[in-house]
Amino acid sequence: MNEQELRGLIEDVKVGRLSRRGFINRMVGLGLAVPLAGQMLAHAGVALAQTKFDYKPTKRGGGGALKLLWWQGATLLNPHFAVGTKDQEGSRIFYEPLAGWDGEGNLVPVLASEIPSVEDGTLAKDGMSVTWKLKKDVTWHDGKPFTADDCVFTWEYARDPATATYTVSTYGDVDVEKVDSHTVRVKFKKPTPFWADAFVGTRGMIIPKHLFEAYKGAASRDAPTNLKPVGTGPYKFVDFKPGDMVRGEINPNYHEPNKPYFDSIEMKGGGDAVSAARAVIQTGEYDYAWNMQVEDEILQRLEKGGKGRAEITQGGNIEYIAVNFTDPWTEVDGERASIKTKHPLLSDPAVRQALALLVDRKSVQDHVYGRTGVATGNFVNNPERFKSKNTKWEFSIDKANQVLEAAGWKKGSDGIRAKDGKKLKFVFQTSINAPRQKTQQIIKQACQKAGIDLELKSITASVFFSSDVANPDTYTKFYCDIEMYTTTMVQPDPEQFMLQFLTVEVATKENKWQGRNITRWRNPEYDKAFQAAQGELDPVKRAALFIKMNDMVCNDWAVIPVVYRPRVAAISSRLRARMSGWDNDLWALKDWYREA
């Protein structure tokens, strides 16, 4: 389809000759993802459609307690320090963004009164700014008014390098100005196709100026509100025991009528995914359980005659192996895995290639994940428009042996390959979780046949994914050779997702290991492609740039994708919860209710 034909279809939508759904269906047929087709209409001045949710309660409260299980318990409740999904979810109970993403990739207003559009002038046609109008009469849990000043402060707080936030990349390259008491404008330094980042979704939660202002910069970790949140959300803070329990009570002054339905909320942490699945699906002790990383065989068995089900939601999450490009065993200036070092073994691309060949993805899919994990060689797997068709994955012990042999790695009498006195021995870590331990074993067995010795290390999930900068065993510090976990894609666009490989995002002691680049892989060509994609308004050219980036990291074996993982939750048969693969599980907590 050429540009003239495309503009003609958009004009048909504007005047009513073609429905919005009809346009989107045609774009999907051409390989364009649903969210991006919607964004094309928004840029052309067609108002964004709002997905309706059938919310039945006719009054606020009366629903009793909502009981949630998070087998990785939250460790802090400041969304801008939340490197782990569990902490992002815990924060979302209390804090809210201006807008969130529904399951179709549409923007839904939360603290904003409406979604910006070209049609009303709030979304600049040249892609240089977006203006957000805020809801009025919204108050923080302590009764103070929510205003544009809070948005501006959140931007100042998150972008300050001394604050060392997880969200610095979202707020560091934009300017935010107060237009009036309930209007803010986000200004970009160049045309920006994906404008719905700052103040949106997981990275967009807004914090109160009056409680955090004294703790901006170097004092950021000392704020009492890091552990006792005061937000605008449907539930007010009651109690928090890090790694164990988060409790909240109904917000009687919530800014939407008849919401929330539940009188209280309890997020229980710890345990394991199988026990969590059983407590929801089989016994009905809990209403909801997050992240069912459980063998599909077990889930299906629990569903038979149970009191709940496994809810599978499409998104962009990927379970993968990260390869350390720095030396985790050598300390430089008080820092291990320093960017001043190179990994003594994994710096050899032949070793990384061999490891990739020794990951039996089909066995992992067939015998571990089933319908909840699809074997893949891509880091970006969804939306479909951004999925590369250039990569491939292969499992071959013979080829791995050939690659290592050709690179000079010879087997010794102990069966372990060595070169220049260095043996191919690695520490391979992940969190404690049955599918991950089974995946580790599958990979270890293949590696043994190729002359690679893997020492398997399993860390309690609440420790591995902790946001505690003093914890030596976090995945962000990466004090081992290779590690495996899932990275969540919380937007229907890969820009923030692919920050993970930028040079400026390397996790270091200086940035309190908040940088997104955990592998410490650095490539100027990748950085250049990413910067180009940030300002590319042509959707076809922009998708091609992200595909190029995906191919660069996968073909250099900076990461080894294992399975694409749709979101899987355990949900009570009576609970009605609005799910999305492009935002937090609790993104629409205000809409949850229980059928009689």
* DSSP string across 269-305: E-S-HHHHHIIIIIS-SSSEE----S-HHHHHHHHTT
CB 277 within 8 A of CB 76: no
Sign of the torsion angle spanned by Cα atoms 339, 545, 105, 132: positive
How many angstroms separate the CA atoms of 540 and 36, rounded? Answer: 11
Q: Is the dihedral of CA 251, 255, 259, 265 positive or negative?
A: negative
Could you tell me which residues come within 8 angstroms of residue 446 by beta carbon, excluding any fewer than 6 positions away? Answer: 358, 359, 360, 395, 397, 400
CA angle 422, 423, 426 (to 5 degrees): 120
pLDDT number for residue 537: 84
All residues at 6 or more sequence positions from 544 whose CB lies less than 8 Å from its CB, including other chains: none
Give the pLDDT of residue 464. 92
Could you tell me if 185 and 131 are in contact, meaning their C-beta atoms sit under 8 angstroms apart?
A: yes
Please give the distance of CA 333 from its chain centroid, rounded to a whole number: 32
- Which H or E run contains 227? none
Count of residues in the chain: 596
- The reported pLDDT for the residue numbered 24 is 63
**pLDDT, position 305:** 78
C-alpha pair distances (Å), 368 with each of 116, 152, 298, 364, 445 = 43, 46, 10, 5, 16
Q: What pLDDT shows up at residue 34? A: 47
Question: Structure pTM?
Answer: 0.78
Q: pLDDT under 50 in the chain at which residues?
A: 15, 29, 31, 33-35, 47
Amino acid at 395: F
| Tokens read off for 336 | 């291990």
